[in-house]
Amino acid sequence: MSSLQPPQDTRNGKRMLLNHPGPGDPDEQTPYSSYLCSEVLHTLQRPLSDSPAEPAFMVNAQVMELYFGLIVHEVRTAQGELRSEQLGQATATLRRTAAHFRALNGNWLSLSWMTPVDFGPIQRGIAEVHGRRQFSALQSWMFRWMAFLLGSRSTDGLASLEGTPTRLRELREILGQPTLYDDVLGLLTRSGHPISADRLQRDFAAPYVPHPEVGEVWRTVYQAPEEHGELFALGETLADIAEELTTWKYRHLMSVRRTFGNRDGYFGEPTVAWLSPTLDEIPFPELWTARAAVE
């Protein structure tokens, strides 16, 4: 037998790896493979079914998970920069974040061919090993962290993380911390724009409620972009992020439609019916409503 034959998962008899010989000698690495831990990285794909679609599904899901973490890192960095009055640097960090989102959204193209016939065996394999068929990025604690930072305060589905009590506790703590938009409003206030104290000292765990005075601040910025150049650039960068996040949710919804349909799947509710309303949850609300007031 060739030494390159994919090894078997001895727990369930399924293929374990994708044409990979297994971990190499740790002393035999190039600087590239050592820096990226690629010898380990290529051993992390362990299919649970014989579906030829599963390697693509698994790799893309893992890549998305990495992007969720990268976006969390960038947003938290931008929050620190906003708090220390580094507006230009924060905008540059958020531009990177928008670029990461565009790459993240490109991942859906690699799965656009998937059908229920492709996905069914994967679901059954997950159920066999992990005890449930429901499987979604919405069960990712890193996705939840990203969503919380970008303004979502929905706790729907947190019960699906009860098997990871440490992460669940951390997420509940994060709910009580400012979102990216809260830090943007703080910077607007320190820049001399009138925003009431109750906008800044709100219960961060509660959903953000749009307010006309915040909309008026953004209208002022957009009415005179030359005068408010840095804030205008920040606003447009936030709009890019909001658009890309909404695009991710739309492509997720369409992927679910193609591979799963509207059968029960999310917390006992039909998948499409549960996901569709989330498309209306667009971050940074006054940034959008203010545009109708610009003359």
Q: What is the DSSP string of 38-92?
A: HHHHTT----SSS-TTHHHHHHHHHHHHHHHHHHHHHHHHHHHHHHTT-HHHHHH
pLDDT tens-digit profile, the chain (295 residues): 334 444 444 444 445 555 565 666 777 888 888 898 888 888 888 888 888 899 999 999 999 999 999 999 999 999 999 999 999 999 999 999 999 999 999 999 999 999 999 988 988 888 888 876 556 677 889 999 999 999 998 887 787 777 788 998 999 999 999 999 999 999 999 999 989 888 888 999 999 999 999 999 999 999 999 999 999 999 999 999 999 999 999 999 998 888 888 877 666 677 788 788 888 899 999 999 999 999 8
53/249 Cα distance (integer angstroms): 22
For the four alpha carbons of 5, 66, 62 and 57, in that order, the dihedral sign comes to negative
202/211 Cα distance (integer angstroms): 12
DSSP character string of 147-167: HHHTT----TTGGGGTT-HHH
CB 221 within 8 A of CB 232: yes
pLDDT of amino acid 83 = 97
184/187 Cα distance (integer angstroms): 5
Let me know how long the chain is.
295
Closest CA to 82 of 174, 179, 172: 179
Q: Which part of the chain is CATH 1.20.58.480?
A: 52-293
291/295 Cα distance (integer angstroms): 9
CB atoms within 10 A of CB 115: 10
Where does 52-293 sit in CATH, by number? 1.20.58.480
pLDDT of amino acid 137 = 72
180/114 Cα distance (integer angstroms): 35
